[in-house]
Structure 1
Amino acid sequence: MSNILKYQKEHELELIALLEKEPDWSSFVSAQAVDTFKEALLESETFLCENEGNICGYLRALVDGFGIYISELYVAPQYRGNGYGSELLEKVKQEHPNQDVYVLSDEDVYYEKLGYQRVGSVFKL
């Protein structure tokens, strides 16, 4: 059974260690970026998914009063397919029932599978 909890500084080492195992996440946990990432985790609205006492995923959202923007959603490969990503997304919606939630994603198929509506696109400057 999973538990969704608010990210705290005490979770930092375990979450970073989890992401260091993933080559696609090196831009967050590289020596040049990790301190900035650690600050972002604390300054954003960040939730963890825990399974049997181990962190198995996280979600980081940007909140500005006009909407909630999911910046990152990650579930470790061995935990995928168990609904943990959906649970993290649901937690954000529960925390902000009167605001729209948007996902900044490069995994469109996942969100389409969940039934989320595509609204526009994202461009890099």
Structure 2
Amino acid sequence: MLVASALAAAGRPLLPPEAVASPPPDYLDRLASAAVDVALVAALSYPALFFLAAGYGVLTPAVAGAHGLSYALLFVGVVHVVLFFYAQLAKYHPLARRLAGGRVEWGKYLLWLALSLSLVGVLAL
């Protein structure tokens, strides 16, 4: 996010503010997009988490340029909550647990998957 912010301040944004200034898509489009994010983390664990965190980092300066700093700070707060849920989902991913030498805790993995999907439904409103 720092690199993306520095580039935006220098006049070379990675994502132009006009790209996020358009009216928000309807509920089903937002829900589908967020569900794809959850599916990526649920399937690929930490690599997908790092990819999404980088994507949100690039998006933040564009949001600030299009909607102002107060909206960008709200966006960052929501993104941190979302990334926390995704980090917990990646933490209990069966492959990550096996590679760490621990046992797979299916209950916690499915719980965080359900919580992430619920969060997606609420945030898509």
Q: TM-score range by the shorter chain?
A: under 0.3
Question: Greater share of helix residues, 1 or 2?
Answer: 2
State the TM-score, normalized to the length of structure 2.
Answer: 0.27
Which structure: larger Rg? 2
Question: Greater share of strand residues, 1 or 2?
Answer: 1
Q: Relative CO higher for 1 or 2, CA cutoff 8 Å, sep ≥ 6?
A: 2
State the TM-score, normalized to the length of structure 1.
Answer: 0.27
